[in-house]
Amino acid sequence: MKPTVLLPVALSVAMPFAHAQTEPLPGTAPNAPASLEACAALEQDAQRLACFDTMTGRIARPTQQADLAADVARELQANPAARADVMADPRASNLYRHDAGALLADTVANAGQGSLLDSRWELAKDSKLGIFNLRAYKPVYLLPVFWSSDVNNMPSSPNPDSTVTTPQSLDSLETKFQLSFKTKAVENLFGSNGDIWMGYTQSSRWQTYNGDNSRPFRETNYEPELLAVFRTGYGLPGGWRGRMLGVGINHQSNGRGDPLSRSWNRVMFNVGFDRDDWALMVRPWVRLSDGSEDDNPDIEDYIGRGDMTLTHVRGGHQYSLMARHTLRGGDRSRGALQFDWGFPIHKNFRGHLEVFHGYGESLIDYNHKATYVGLGISLLEWF
């Protein structure tokens, strides 16, 4: 962008309230414009409305405005001539002239503030809420009805010690529930970017209706993980933005002894994108070898080597579609699809529908293909 074009954009986006530098009114939001008169003096409608909202603390700056301001700030950082023009403009405040570098850096660091991924991962500089506070992670739900089209009565594995030889007495209808949370252990590794998160997810399948077999827990999966997350802010076609990049260690196991023991460890990469009320998370992974004692040596050829989850939030409803694949062809081309729908039924919780088809609905069924349908309630969705 040329300096002559960049100048008015920078002044209108990066400094809409620069000239209102007197003390704010009592009870107004921090860093708010000084008065209603200061806001009324702004000529453009969008600026004037944003000024009033900022002064009263009514709403945060829209995500698109934060992205545009960050784009302008990056251009100014890379273009000394344009930056000099902005600082010389009579509409620029003294504060901007004397601390332009810090203001531009802060503007870039707040790209995407208020976006879907920012709301979950505290990516923007001013979105960070500190360490060791519990945060939402994956959906938290209870599905009293969870049905399988093909019950896996004899779980098997290439490891003979991990193969069941006597059929189990299991019902096709059971209960499933999931708990999930995360907390930030380290914040701002590099300036205002880079956080270390610790996450934990537990999902259980409970044979609630199997009274003849004492209603056992058929399978519980435990999944602790450690993830380093970094903010990104690049633009993509169609209005999408690259928001985050993560890398970490993931362990998943069912905590059982042979022949039902299943576990694996992965190095996982998280690449996150969002646009308005859409979010996309892409997660390729590399398995870490368990050596000769591996309970499930071929798990990558069933559960896969990566997944992606597309989420859409609209009118109180939340839809997500997860797809994963082995990234291999021929007989090794396998995977799974899962659709989740959270819908409003009460102010404190939602209805939740889950439909899964493919391999690996749980670790014990990693090489078992079936369709599962669950219905119940959720306390927390993806966003």
| CATH at 145 | 2.40.230.10
29, two tokens: 């939001």
> Is 123 within a domain?
no
- Rounded CA Rg of the chain: 26
User: Do 153 and 204 belong together in one domain?
Assistant: yes
Task: Evaluate the omega torsion of the peptide bond into residue 80 and state whether it is cis, within 30 degrees of 0.
Answer: no
Task: Specify the pLDDT at position 89.
Answer: 62
Indicate the residue among 77, 111, 145 that finishes a domain. 111
> Is 122 within a domain?
no
Indicate the residue among 96, 111, 126 that finishes a domain. 111
Task: Specify the pLDDT at position 92.
Answer: 56
User: Do 89 and 212 belong together in one domain?
Assistant: no
User: Do 221 and 349 belong together in one domain?
Assistant: yes
> Is 121 within a domain?
no
The boundaries of the domain holding residue 32 are 3-111
User: Do 10 and 97 belong together in one domain?
Assistant: yes
User: Do 369 and 255 belong together in one domain?
Assistant: yes
Tell me the HSE value of 5 on the side-chain side, using a 13 A CA sphere.
Answer: 4
- Longest Cα–Cα distance of the chain, Å, equals 84
User: Do 211 and 98 belong together in one domain?
Assistant: no
Interatomic CA distance for residues 190 and 298, integer angstroms: 39
Ramachandran sector of residue 104 (left: φ over 0; alpha: ψ -120 to 50; beta: rest): alpha
Instruction: Provide the domain count of the chain.
Output: 2
Task: Specify the pLDDT at position 20.
Answer: 34
- List the pLDDT tens digit at each of the 383 positions of the chain: 444 344 444 444 454 433 333 334 333 444 444 466 667 766 555 556 656 666 665 554 589 889 988 888 888 888 887 777 666 666 555 545 557 778 888 889 999 999 999 999 999 999 999 999 999 999 999 999 999 999 999 999 999 999 999 999 999 999 999 999 999 999 999 999 999 999 999 999 999 999 999 999 999 999 999 999 999 999 999 999 999 999 999 999 999 999 999 999 999 999 999 999 999 999 999 999 888 789 999 999 999 999 999 999 999 999 999 999 999 999 999 999 999 999 999 988 999 999 999 999 999 999 999 999 999 999 988 88
> Is 16 within a domain?
yes
Tell me the HSE value of 74 on the side-chain side, using a 13 A CA sphere.
Answer: 15
Task: Specify the pLDDT at position 93.
Answer: 54
* Contact in structure between 308 and 295 (CB atoms under 8 Å): no
Amino acid found at 94: N
> Is 21 within a domain?
yes
Interatomic CA distance for residues 249 and 168, integer angstroms: 34
Tell me the HSE value of 251 on the side-chain side, using a 13 A CA sphere.
Answer: 9
Task: Specify the pLDDT at position 56.
Answer: 63
* Contact in structure between 205 and 180 (CB atoms under 8 Å): no
* Contact in structure between 40 and 48 (CB atoms under 8 Å): yes
Catalytic residue selected from 180, 192, 251, 312:
251
User: Do 236 and 324 belong together in one domain?
Assistant: yes
Interatomic CA distance for residues 94 and 20, integer angstroms: 11
User: Do 241 and 315 belong together in one domain?
Assistant: yes
User: Do 223 and 347 belong together in one domain?
Assistant: yes
In terms of residues, how long is the chain?
383
Helix (H) or strand (E) holding 21: none
User: Do 149 and 196 belong together in one domain?
Assistant: yes
> Is 79 within a domain?
yes
Q: Cα dist. 200→2, 208, 217, 250, 253 in Å?
A: 48, 24, 20, 10, 12
> Is 125 within a domain?
no
User: Do 64 and 165 belong together in one domain?
Assistant: no
Task: Specify the pLDDT at position 81.
Answer: 77
> Is 120 within a domain?
no
Q: Is 253 noted as a catalytic residue in this protein?
A: yes
Catalytic residue selected from 35, 156, 204, 253:
253
User: Do 155 and 274 belong together in one domain?
Assistant: yes
Q: Is 148 noted as a catalytic residue in this protein?
A: no
